Amino acid sequence: MIVTPVVYCEDDQTLVDAFNHLPRPNMDSNYWSSDELKDLRGRVKTFYITAQGSRCCYCNRHLGTENHRVWDVEHIADRSKHAWFMFTPTNLAAACLDCNTAKSSTEVLTNARRVTYPSGSQHFKIIHPHFNRFADHILRVGQVYLPKTSKGKFTIYKCDLLRFAEKYIEWENRAVDRRFETEVSTVFADGLMAQAAVENIIAQLPNAE
C-alpha cells in the first residue's frame, strides 16, 4: 500500500504556514507538542490510521484499534533533526508505539543536509510508506521479518522488527546478535535456498499471530 498524504483543513494550514515561514534557525521541533497543535495532531493521527488501514507504517501489523493512545504520529525524517519537514504531509504517517520508539531519532535520509523534502524512495534508507510497498522490501512470515532489499534490512533493524521473532520463536542466538543478519541475508541468495528457508521458518511458526 502506498499511503495518501494528508490534506490540512483551513485552520490547520494556517498554523502550518505560520511555522513554515519562520527562518530555519527559529524552527523549534518541540512546537509539535504544543497545546496549540492538539487538534491538528489528532486530525493527522486519525487520517493516517484510516489511510493505512490501521496498520503500522513500519511493522505492517494490524493493530485492530483506532484508539489514539496506541498510535504515534510518525515523522519519517525525524523532526528533531529536520524541523523544516515537520508538517510536510509526505513526512507523516501512523506508527505503533514500539516501532516509533525503536526508530527514535534515526537518520533515514541518504543526504542529511537536504533542505527540500525528497520526492522519491531513493533518497531514504528506510521503507517509506508514501513511496514504497512493504512487500517489495520485506517478506513477513508470521512472526519473522526477512529482508528482500537493503532498505528492508535497514527497516527491520532500526524499527526492531526482530522483536517478534525473539518473543515467539526460540532462536539459537538473540535476533539482535549480528550473526542473525548473516543467517537471514542468505535467504534470498537463490530461489531454491529461499524456498527451503521460508518453508523451514513456516514450520516453526505458531498458527496464529
pLDDT at 142: 83
Domain extents in the chain: 10-112, 137-204
Residue 32 has pLDDT above 90, yes or no: yes
What is the DSSP annotation of 83-145?
A: GGGTT-GGGEEEEEHHHHHHHTT---BSSTT-SS--SSGGGBSS--TTT--GGGTEEEETTEE
Give the separation between CA 196 and CA 198, rounded to whole angstroms: 6
Label residue 199 by pLDDT band (50, 70, 90): low
Confidence of residue 202 (pLDDT cuts 50, 70, 90): low
Residues 149-182 have pLDDT tens digits of: 999 999 999 999 999 887 765 555 555 555 555 5
**Secondary structure letter of residue 33 according to DSSP:** G
Q: How far apart are CA 59 and CA 52, in angstroms?
A: 12
Prediction pTM value: 0.83
> Residue 9 phi/psi, 5° resolution?
-70, 170
H/E run at residue 92: strand 92-96
Cβ(156)–Cβ(162) below 8 Å: yes
- Looking at residue 191, its pLDDT comes to 42
pLDDT (0 to 100) of residue 190: 44
Distance separating alpha carbons of residues 33 and 105, to the nearest angstrom: 16
Helix, strand or coil for residue 62? strand
pLDDT score of 187 more than 70: no
Q: For residues 181 and 187, is the Cβ–Cβ distance under 8 A?
A: no
Average pLDDT, the chain: 87
Residue 141: per-residue pLDDT: 85
Whether pLDDT at 39 is above 60: yes
- In 3-state terms, what secondary structure has residue 21? coil
Q: Which amino acid is at 57?
A: C
Closest-CA residue to 194 (of 132, 133, 139): 139
63-73: average pLDDT: 95
